[in-house]
Structure 1
Amino acid sequence: MRNEKISWTSFFRTVFTIALPIAFQNFLSTTASMVDTIMIGSQGELSVAAVGICSQITSLFFSCYFGFASGGLLFFSQYWGARNERGINQAFGLALTCMLAVSLLFGGAAVANPDFILGIYTDKANIIAIGAPYIRIVGFAYPLQVIAMIISFLMRSTERVKPPLFSSILALITNFILNWILIYGRFGMPRMGAAGAAVGTLVSGIVNVFVLFIFLIKDKKTIVLRVKDMLSWHDGFHKEYMSKCLPIIFNELFYGIGQMLINIVIGHQSESAIAAMAAFRVLEGFVFAFFAGLADASSVVVGKEVGSGHLMSGYQYMKKFALLCPSITFTICLIGLLLNRPLLSLFGLGAEAMFFGKYMILIYLAAGTIRTCNYIMNCCYRAGGEAVFGTLLEIICLFTVSVPATWAAGMIWHLPFLAVFSFLYTDELIRLIFETWYTISGKWIKPVTEVGRSALPEFKAALTAKKSLSKQN
């Protein structure tokens, strides 16, 4: 095996050229609902709580389709490393079809019966009354959301990081301007409140997809999408795709269900607690949106190395990302804690909700750092071709530790809100122990390309020799 030692200098060069643009693009593309929550703050705690509940529905939707997108990213990155253009077309077509089906299901439900969906999450009639018009309009944006995501994933995987970044900037600007006009009724427009924020989200989604399509059509040098190849699944490709995707799909689906159960507990707390949680989710979302972009970037880098047969390079990149990303999360959370008052004041919260928010950020300083470490390792497992271990570990820990503990604290014991909140992340430390061991073992590297598979025996031998040497020393 050639010398594939990755220095920190080389690693940071990759971070700055590939990872940071992807992180910023992801940060911008996932902030629409966060912008809505912030800008609706002047309408009072009830509006903030309503938009926050609607964001939880969107999060469940995300969990249901992200498995297909993540599976697509696995194939995109490894096939890009092997320069398999037909395989990329097949993966894109199948992922897009599955994701659109999920978006039409959720979008149709949100448009047809928003009151029923909101009623699952909260028993507060006044919050449902404000949230129903918002989620009905946002339901039309769901198909746009999945189209934008899969195109962005394709471009990231083929190292075209600037177009998604540019489209996300334009979409965010559009969302901000329309929110400012429609929420508050500027320039003679009606004062629409939360519904105005939803219109801004819908139009910004249209802008995002339109700009991405322009870049996709104009670029003929990297990967050319062909409808014939996108629909050619008859050669057994769909079986291989689903074999890799199903564990991820179940992971995201069950995670979404677990979070829904937790959100139901939160939705039955006081109105101040619900509003504080909505504000916290926005701040957490800003942190996690940036971090998730780094995770996607790590998937691209690791997947490309594994797909091209440079397995030891992929292994080393994984370990370095697993150290870097939690460090960044801790730093951002610490800054958020120090600036908690000006940040939380953006949401128009009352004194009690401000108190809740401050200590939620303090709890997340530790919990969020561990959570992002687990997340980055699981993403790299998937990029390396292994989707089962991380899935089983996350689902088992979530449903045996975090969900029952939070449910008991909030719905049975009726503990104070901050005590309930502290149970949300109780499973993360257990996962960290097992995932650290699995990462070091290298068992997660399972290539889907021929060149990657041919390099696997040599990689295993090199890893065994390295571990033996470490024990001797």
Structure 2
Amino acid sequence: MLQKQENKMGILPVPRLVLSMSIPIMISMLIQALYNIVDSMFVARVSEEALTAVSLAFPIQNLVIAVAIGTSIGINSLLSRSLGAKNIETAEKAANNGIVLGLLSWIVFAILGLTLSKNFFALFTDNPTLLKMGTQYISVCLVFSLGIFIDITCERILQATGDTIHPMIIQSIGAISNIILDPIMIFGLFGFPALGIFGAAIATVISQHISALLAIYYVRRNTEVQIQARFFKLEKKIVLAIYAVGIPTIIMQAIGTLMVTSLNKIIIGYGISAVAVFGIYFKVQSFIFMPVFGLNSGMIPVIGFNYGAKQPKRIMEALKVGISISVSIMAIGMFIFLAFPHVLLSWFNASPEMLAIGIVALPRISLCFLSAGICIVLGALFQATGDGYISMIISITRQMVFLLPSAYFLGKFFGLDAIWFSFIIAESSSFFLSLFFFKQEYTKKLKPLYVKKDPVLVETEETRS
């Protein structure tokens, strides 16, 4: 019983804790990003239309991930805070109710996949090849999305208990499975029929279900929380607590889906090559952003646990460590995008027209990477303390108030090359809003935790710092 109370998130030195929690997630997300790139490289070798179809499908796939991640971040936040406060029953209810919410979410998306896939692609094109490819791809991904909901939910449960090694194994095996299955299913190796983009979708969902089965296995072996049938019944208080953090995150991610869909609508006016380049950007930038999102995921349980345990100094130290790591990663990414855009594009069998567009687009967009890294880390604080709505406000403002309008008007008056500056405009707004809300969050939630402690202890801590 004593071991259960002495969770490492309350006792390990903070730099070591943040690294031990984050590095396995960052590695697994790097592998996931590598899969995203390799997947698109295989699809690009089918045809430019196939790559464009996958690019147009990306927002819908992102919406599935948005709901899965948003719900699981709510689970993660509640579970880690409950463990920090030594409330084991609430932690277990959070985990079990979260699994049920994942199942219900899958049912909704499966129905949407069966009924609305073709209508979605008809918003962008009447090209019969694009329509067929896109509808096949997204229908399979939605109808068989159960794996991704179970996988992400179970990974976040493990992370909230301080276990980041097994989520790394789960994601790695899923991504490697996908990389192996992609060429087999797409090009018809080892006696399999060549299924093209349809095969890419099948490879994706098979690998997601492999990850889900492995995730279930590790969650059932976890000693911090138990999966019990008696907690499967949804409890209003638990569901509301999960979605207090989860819904703002879902909305924030869903706004990203709307943003990409709307930008695709704007960009496709300049031809399918422009859409393909935009799709390539999202795939390649994931290799930079995914580790930072992994850092965010590792920090949420650290901050949530120490917030529940009323340890503000550890929270602030975690933020400083996180920002240092994030800015370093983003600086490397910005350099690569500025110096080698032609190399990045060549990975995707880019046509001369795609190269001409991408050599301008990638360096310009990368100028916002540094500020984006800081915003992602500060978002971990808002989510971990139960104020996920702040991240939602920042995201809506960034994408709907600044990014889309500026992209539309820059494109209308100055052409395609000017559209890419809209990312810099939008990220600047996000940066200043994040700083504003951080100051409020510190004053409202963190500063009072210092004065509630013994004054002698506070004075000693301040002297040492």
Interval containing the TM-score (normalised by the shorter chain): 0.7 to 0.9
In structure 1, the partner of 2:302 is 301
Q: CA deviation at 1:80?
A: 2.5
- The offset of 1:211, in angstroms, is 1.1
Contact in 2 for aligned 1:56/1:263 (Cα 8 Å): no
> Structure 2 CA distance, aligned partners of 1:444 and 1:82?
22
Q: Is the 8 A contact 1:170 1:208 kept in 2?
A: yes
Q: 1-side partners of 2:234 and 2:41: how far apart?
A: 45
Tell me how far apart the structure 2 counterparts of residues 95 and 30 of structure 1 sit (CA, whole Å).
Answer: 26
Separation in 1, partners of 2:277, 2:239 = 44
Range with bigger deviation, 313-322 or 249-258: 249-258
- SS of 1:172's equivalent? helix
Deviation of 1:141 (Å): 3.3
Unpaired segments ≥5 residues, structure 2? 1-11
- Give the match for residue 333 of structure 2: 332
* Residue number in structure 2 paired with 1:50: 53
Aligned equivalents of 2:299 and 2:276: distance in 1?
34
CA distance in 1, matches of 2:71, 2:19: 28
Report how far residue 327 of structure 1 moved.
2.4
Q: Match of 1:4?
A: none
- Partner of residue 175 from structure 1, selected from 170, 173, 178: 178
Show the counterpart of 1:225: 227
Structure 1 unaligned blocks of 5 or more? 1-8, 448-452
Check conservation: 1:122, 1:268, Cα contact below 8 A: no
Q: Is the 8 A contact 1:315 1:442 kept in 2?
A: no
1:129 aligns with 2:132: yes
Task: Indicate the residue corresponding to 1:276 in structure 2.
Answer: 277
Kept after mapping to 1: 8 A contact 2:365/2:423: no
Q: Please provide the CA RMSD for this pair.
A: 3.1
User: Where does structure 1 differ by over 6 angstroms across 4 or more consecutive aligned residues?
Assistant: 459-462
Greater CA drift, 258-267 or 41-50: 258-267
**Mean CA deviation greater in 366-375 or 435-444:** 435-444
Q: What is the Cα deviation at residue 229 of structure 1?
A: 2.6
Letter in 2 for 1:225: I
Change beyond 3 A, Cα 1:349–1:375: same
Q: CA deviation at 1:440?
A: 4.2
CA positional deviation for 1:76 = 1.9
Q: Write out aligned runs for 1:253-272 (5 A).
A: 253-272=254-273
Change (3 A) 1:198 1:321: same
Aligned to 1:421: 420
Q: CA deviation at 1:150?
A: 0.9
> Equivalent of 2:163, from 160, 163, 182?
160
Matched, 1:431 2:444: no
Aligned mates of 1:460, 1:273 — CA distance in 2: 60
* Alignment-mate amino acid for residue 363 of structure 1: R
1:190/1:384 CA distance change after superposition, 3 Å: same
Distance apart, 1:232 and its partner CA: 5.5
Q: 2:137 is matched by which residue type in structure 1?
A: Y
Q: Which residue of 1 is the match for residue 110 of structure 2?
A: 107
State the AA in 1 paired with 2:230.
Answer: K
Matched residue pairs, number? 452
Q: Is the 8 A contact 2:35 2:176 kept in 1?
A: no
1:165–1:405 CA distance, 2 compared to 1 (3 A): same
Q: Which residue identity does 2:179 align to in structure 1?
A: F
CA distance in 2, matches of 1:241, 1:90: 10
In structure 2, relative to structure 1, the CA distance for the partners of 1:260 and 1:425 (3 Å cut) is farther
Is the contact made by 1:80 and 1:304 (CA closer than 8 Å) also made in structure 2? yes
Q: CA distance change for structure 1 residues 458 and 175 in 2, over 3 Å: closer, same or farther?
A: same
Summarize the Cα distance change of 1:212–1:61 in structure 2 as closer, same or farther, 3 Å threshold. Answer: closer
Contact 1:110 1:117 in 2 (8 A): no
Amino acid at match of 1:333: M
Shift of 1:55: 1.7
Q: Name the CA distance, whole Å, in 2 between partners of 1:146 and 1:83.
A: 28
Displacement of 1:326:
2.4
Q: Which residue of 1 aligns with 2:193?
A: 190
Distance 1:276 1:394 in 2: 23
What is the match of residue 3 of structure 1?
Answer: none
Indicate the residue corresponding to 2:99 in structure 1: 96
Change (3 A) 1:351 1:78: same
Residue of structure 1 equivalent to 2:7: none
Shift of 1:460: 12
Aligned-residue offset at 1:187: 1.6
Instruction: Tell me the amino acid that sits aligned with residue 408 of structure 1.
Output: F
Spell out, residue by residue over 1:184-221, the C-alpha distance to the aligned partner (whole angstroms, 9 max, x if none): 111222111111111110110111011111222233x3
TM-score (norm 1): 0.86
Do 2:69 and 2:153's aligned partners in 1 also have CA atoms closer than 8 Å?
A: no
Q: 1:255 to 1:190 in 2, by over 3 A?
A: closer
Q: Tell me how far 1:124 sits from its aligned partner.
A: 4.4
Deviation at residue 107 of structure 1 after TM alignment: 2.8
Aligned equivalent of 2:39, options 36, 41, 44: 36
> How much does 1:116 deviate?
1.0
Sequence identity of aligned pairs in percent?
A: 17
Q: Distance in 2 between matches of 1:392 and 1:193?
A: 40
Contact 1:92 1:230 in 2 (8 A): no
Change (3 A) 1:417 1:127: farther
